[in-house]
Amino acid sequence: MSCLFGCIAFLVPRVVLVAMFFNGYLDRAYETRLWPLLGFVFMPLTTIAYAWVHVTHGSVEGVYFVVVLLAVLADLGIIGGGARGRHRDDD
């Protein structure tokens, strides 16, 4: 059952990115389609957060920087334990 939740959690940000792409939201945030494509593969939460900040505020400053920074940390696995937390459960 936990594998199912992991698969759903892995896919949800990517589904949101696809919806943002077809809605035209990513076109307003990024000049090319290369960055959203790379974000889809490697850092989907950061791509979503940056697009939201860029469309609503225009630049990454202040509180908006914190939003993007938290998305980067979540994508890197620093928030939520990451690989080190999984190895502790095995002991």
Report residue 79 as tokens. 């928030």
Interatomic CA distance for residues 45 and 59, integer angstroms = 17
Residues 40-82: pLDDT tens digits?
A: 989 999 999 999 999 998 888 999 999 999 999 988 886 666 5
pLDDT exceeding 70 applies to what percent of the chain?
Answer: 82
- Tell me what pLDDT residue 84 has: 59
Residue 67 burial (CB count, 10 A): 16
pTM of the model: 0.78
- Tell me what pLDDT residue 8 has: 75
- Tell me what pLDDT residue 66 has: 94
Question: What is the residue extent of each domain of the chain?
Answer: 2-90
